Amino acid sequence: MLDVSEDIVVGDNCEVKSLEDKEEITENENVAVCEEIILDNSQSSMEDATTPAMGQGGECKMYDYSADENLRRDSVVVSGNADAVLALECVESNFLAACLDGNVYYFNNDGQLLSTLRGSNLAVTCITIVKEKYGTTVYTGSLDSRIRYYDLETGLEKGLECNVLSPIQTMDRAWDTVFVGTRTGFVLQFECKNNMLIPVSSVKFSDQSILALRAMKEGPRKVLLVAARSENVTIKDAQTGLLLRTLVGPKMTVYSLLFEDGKVFCGTSSHQIHVFDYASGTHAGTHSGGKGAVCLRATGGLL
């Protein structure tokens, strides 16, 4: 497994000690903070031959899989963003990088900056991309508690931002709805068609921060895989929050979720990726990897 986590230090003369989630980022720039920043907790499929990864000193590196399967050399280095990258999403051969400075930068595959999506005054923690008939819309969630949506080509906001009243930690999209997990443990639903928060959609899923969400179907039922800080991963009804099953295993904080072939893979702050049987909720095994599996992908039968 490729370890994509990076120790990003905010402030001077700091030594990173442990993996902290994105909710710990401070608003005070005068206070030195040690953080190991989560790059990405999305589960979009790896369809492109080139994918970006965070480098040192506020740069993104793009590795060409077709030229170098072991990722020993980078094909291009892009820079220009002054802060840590918290989330990455590919759009065909281009990519978006959400940053600590509250901006989302859109690069082409040559590393050239195409546009900058501005608006947030705090870190953007997650991105969701919706391809439509007449263009592409980018939804962002940030620590200022706002959902914003942009036209990808122009970089301009397409409408009014939506305040969910709690810092946003994670997003996932399904059934024309963006599911939003917050620091206060709520999951909300944002309707893409009308670009509005669905009334009475806010459900308390946990007393802890929601760090990862996966929307999926179990037969006709719409369900969510939910990872909250220091809690077992749960499977809940997406509409009501009704608990259906709990994935019971070692005590851990899960930062990323992947569902593949009836198994749930959980990236944690340790060196282990825990595997659960989805149907029974039992612990099925572990994989060893780099410390802090903050992003999981499955492609070509490989994790």
Q: What is the 3-state secondary structure of 82-107?
A: CCCEEEEEEECCEEEEEECCCCEEEE
pLDDT of residue 69: 57
Question: Alpha-carbon distance 274 to 69, whole Å?
Answer: 25
99 neighbors 86 (Cβ within 8 angstroms): yes
Stretch 243-261: mean pLDDT, rounded?
89
pLDDT of residue 143: 94
Question: Alpha-carbon distance 79 to 38, whole Å?
Answer: 19
- 261-279 confidence digits (pLDDT tens): 889 998 888 888 899 999 9
Greater pLDDT, 245 or 56:
245
Greater pLDDT, 19 or 285:
285
Opening angle at CA 229, ends 224 and 231, nearest 5: 75
- Using only C-alpha atoms, the chain has a radius of gyration, in whole angstroms, of 18
The domains of the chain are located at 9-288
Answer yes or no: is pLDDT of 55 > 90.
no
Q: Which residues contact 23 (CB under 8 A, 6 or more apart)?
A: 143, 167, 169, 183, 209
Answer yes or no: is pLDDT of 75 > 60.
no
Stretch 157-176: mean pLDDT, rounded?
92
Question: Alpha-carbon distance 75 to 42, whole Å?
Answer: 24
pLDDT of residue 70: 58
Stretch 143-148: mean pLDDT, rounded?
94
pLDDT of residue 59: 59
Answer yes or no: is pLDDT of 63 > 80.
no
pLDDT of residue 208: 92
Q: Rounded to 5 degrees, what are φ and ψ at 297? A: -135, 150
Q: Considering the chain, what is the average pLDDT of its residues?
A: 77
Question: Alpha-carbon distance 13 to 74, whole Å?
Answer: 29
pLDDT of residue 80: 59
Answer yes or no: is pLDDT of 44 > 60.
no
pLDDT of residue 277: 92
pLDDT of residue 74: 52
pLDDT of residue 66: 58
Provide the 10 A C-beta neighbour count for residue 14.
Answer: 13
Question: Alpha-carbon distance 105 to 117, whole Å?
Answer: 6
Structure tokens that stand for 260 in this block: 């593949």
155 neighbors 115 (Cβ within 8 angstroms): yes
pLDDT of residue 48: 39
Answer yes or no: is pLDDT of 99 > 50.
yes
pLDDT of residue 79: 58
Stretch 173-184: mean pLDDT, rounded?
93
Domain 9-288 has CATH 2.130.10.10: yes
Answer yes or no: is pLDDT of 43 > 60.
no
Q: Percentage of the chain surpassing pLDDT 70?
A: 71
pLDDT of residue 181: 95
Structure tokens that stand for 11 in this block: 């402030």
Give the residue among 130, 60, 63 at the shortest CA–CA distance from 97: 60
Q: HSE, CB side, 13 Å, CA atoms: give it for residue 224.
A: 32
pLDDT of residue 14: 34
| Dihedral (CA of 166, 170, 175, 176) sign | positive
Answer yes or no: is pLDDT of 234 > 80.
yes
pLDDT of residue 224: 94
